[in-house]
């Protein structure tokens, strides 16, 4: 697979690089960013944390705003940040910010016109890691994390594929999308009106019925404008209690939905993942 380097920036002894490649899964060109810590110099393979961003974001939000590179460099951890949806002139879109380009919700769409491109679940699970691990000095040892819509995606991917990820974490995830406006709108468009099909992408429902375990850390700001209507962390807490799932959910007074919140605790998240990645 041919990839095109778009930018390179040295950071804390390692390199942040942005690439474009053709995605066969999404049927369009895609962009992603990768941070390779100094330990990857000379070809030594390092474990990776995959980061999924939220609504309206791209690969750039996390890499530019979270301040994660310094800790990743100290730990010897690669960071991989895909875009949040397929993009391009031929890719279906919507005028609203919470559907279409920038709002892929990390599902495999089954409904037209979305099903021609919107298969972010398969892209993040299979195609992107295969590309990254075949081109860069990145090991097959992976963890996954995300924010908001990306927190939903990270938790769903880990819960459905516990053999693929050592650990999972999220900031302000959409924890029960089948019961919130964002999730209902996106799932109806991408998956159809049969709500039984939605359950496979609902974190709380998956955690309630989980047999296998992936250690999970979730941080939620108490001043988050979306807390009550959209995020519903109480549903995730109830699911973890019902299945005795190893979830650590922390609430933080005064913090909102922004990257100021993420930057405040991203170091703790990287150290959490480092324990399970063998660092």
Residues recognised as catalytic: 148, 224, 257
**Is 220 within 8 Å of 249 (Cβ atoms)?**
yes
Distance CA 134, CA 39 (A): 18
Token pair in block for residue 145: 């994390």
Give the chain's length: 279
Token pair in block for residue 260: 């100021």
List alpha helices for the chain, DSSP H. Answer: 60-65, 69-75, 120-122, 128-135, 149-160, 181-191, 203-208, 233-243, 259-277
Question: Which of 260, 259, 90, 103 has the alpha carbon at shortest distance from 181?
Answer: 103
Distance CA 206, CA 159 (A): 7
**Contacts (Cβ under 8 Å, ≥6 apart) of 127:** 23, 24, 25
């Amino acid at each position: 697979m041919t990839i095109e380097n778009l930018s390179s920036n040295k950071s804390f002894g390692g390199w942040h690089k942005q690439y474009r490649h053709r995605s066969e899964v999404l049927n369009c060109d895609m962009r992603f960013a990768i941070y390779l810590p100094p330990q990857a110099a000379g070809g030594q393979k390092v474990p990776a944390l995959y980061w999924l961003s939220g609504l309206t974001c791209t690969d750039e939000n996390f890499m530019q705003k979270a301040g994660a590179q310094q800790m990743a460099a100290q730990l010897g951890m690669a960071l991989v940040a895909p875009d949040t949806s397929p993009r391009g002139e031929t890719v279906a879109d919507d005028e609203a910010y919470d559907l279409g380009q920038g709002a892929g919700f990390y599902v495999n769409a089954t409904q037209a016109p979305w099903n021609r491109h919107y298969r972010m679940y398969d892209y993040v699970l299979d195609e992107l890691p295969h590309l990254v691990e075949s081109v860069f000095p990145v090991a097959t040892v992976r963890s996954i994390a995300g924010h908001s819509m990306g927190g939903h995606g990270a938790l769903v991917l880990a819960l459905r594929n516990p053999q693929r990820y050592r650990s999972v974490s999220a900031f302000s995830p959409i924890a029960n999308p089948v019961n919130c406006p964002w999730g209902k709108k996106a799932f109806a468009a991408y998956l159809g009106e049969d709500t039984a099909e939605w359950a496979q992408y609902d974190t709380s429902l998956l955690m309630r019925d989980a047999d296998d375990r992936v250690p999970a850390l979730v941080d939620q700001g108490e001043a988050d404008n979306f807390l009550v209507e959209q995020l519903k962390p109480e549903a995730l807490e109830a699911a973890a209690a019902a299945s005795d799932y190893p979830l650590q959910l922390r609430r933080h007074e005064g913090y909102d939905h922004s990257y100021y919140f993420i930057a405040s605790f991203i170091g703790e998240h990287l150290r959490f993942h480092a324990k399970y990645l063998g660092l």
